Structure 1
Amino acid sequence: MKCPICKHGETRPGVATVTLERGGAAVIFRQVPALICDNCGETYHEDDVTRELLEQAEQAVSEGVEVDVRRFRKVA
């Protein structure tokens, strides 16, 4: 797909690092499936990946995590 941000690049499948912060907590996910623009580097995630990221981050914050780095795992 044509990148909606830069309007020049095409997105390609790859993996990205995503950092989510809330209330003083930071959860960093590595190896997150994404579509990445080959021109500007902007990343896009499928709805199910986004939903899973938010659920895992919410769980980490509710467990009292302040900083957490983890490899993304999609729950079946």
Structure 2
Amino acid sequence: MECVICKTGETRPCHVTVTLQREGVTLLIKDVPAEICDNCGEYYLSEAVTERVMQQAETAAGKNVELEILRFAA
């Protein structure tokens, strides 16, 4: 698909590291499947992947930690 940010790049399947922060908690999720722009590097997550990332984030937030590094779990 055409990148909606730069309007010139095309996306391709790849894996990214997603960083989320909320209320003093930083969460890194590695190896998240995404579509990444070959021009600007912007990435896009599917609805299903976004839902799973958010589930992992909620679980991590409940652990009362400052930093959590996880590998994406499908």
Q: Distance in 2 between matches of 1:25 and 1:33?
A: 23
- Match of 2:12, as an amino acid? R
Q: Which residue is 1:9 aligned to?
A: 9
What CA deviation, in whole Å up to 9, does each residue of 1:5-55 have, x standing for no partner?
A: 000000000000100110000110010000000000000000010011011
User: Structure 1 stretches of 5 or more lacking a match?
Assistant: none
Which residues of structure 2 form unaligned runs of 5+? none
Specify the code of the residue in structure 1 equivalent to 2:59: Q
Partner of 2:28: 28
- Residues 1-76 of structure 1: pairs in structure 2 closer than 5 A: 1-74=1-74
RMSD over aligned CA atoms reads: 0.6
Runs of 4+ in 1 over 6 A off after TM superposition: none
- TM-score of the superposition, structure 1-length normalised? 0.94
- Give the partner amino acid of 1:6: C
